Amino acid sequence: MRLAAVVLAAGRSSRMGANKLLLKVGDRRVIEHILFSLKPFETIVVLGHRPDDVKGFVEAFGAKTVYNPDYDEGMTTSFRAGLRTMDPDVEAVFMVLSDTFGFSHRLLEEMKGVLMNDPEALIVSPVHEGRRGHPVLFRKSLFDEFLELGEEETMRDVVNRHETEHRYVEGDVWTVTDLDTPEDYERVKRLWEETRG
């Protein structure tokens, strides 16, 4: 099964006050953690606000970039921009948020296995302590639904329509860890030292 990943990295990181993708956690920047975990998969990073700040890091990992001029209109526009540039042979895509970076390659392989072994599964998400997390894996048959969403609709609408085809795997704390504010950043650095240091 041919899988790819779309990383939504177009936002302003306004609550952080600095580009969260360029923050260092441990010995790597957040964008480097993400791309390292996704290395086995074709990866498209969707850029928007100050794209040149991140582009060099992405290209150093051999990943592709696409610019989303509508990034201020929300994450749905970025995911659609990534899907539009996807190779037509790709059979499923991981949707990765820009602050979801501690996930393991083992988790991605487990999610892939669920999709491969369950023909009715359209969506696979990690869960941790009852909370849904990221990244989320979508089968190709949903791509057109995302691309055809109306102005008032979001990715969540597609997910909600397909709850009976939604499967879950056990994730760790990193699948539900947010990185939005300076306080989050300090907490995440401590968590990294505790779990990975």
Contact 147, 78 (CB under 8 A): no
Q: What is the pLDDT of residue 101?
A: 87
pLDDT score of 197: 60
At residue 19, the pLDDT reads: 87
What mean pLDDT comes out for the span 181-194?
93
Q: What is the mean pLDDT of the chain?
A: 93
Give the pLDDT mean for 163-172: 97
pLDDT level of residue 12 (50, 70, 90 thresholds): confident
pLDDT, mean of residues 131-153: 95
Say how many C-beta atoms besides its own lie within 10 A of residue 188's C-beta: 21
CATH of domain 3-195: 3.90.550.10
Give the residue among 55, 61, 33, 63 at the shortest CA–CA distance from 135.
33
Cα→Cα distances 195→11, 80, 99, Å: 28, 34, 17
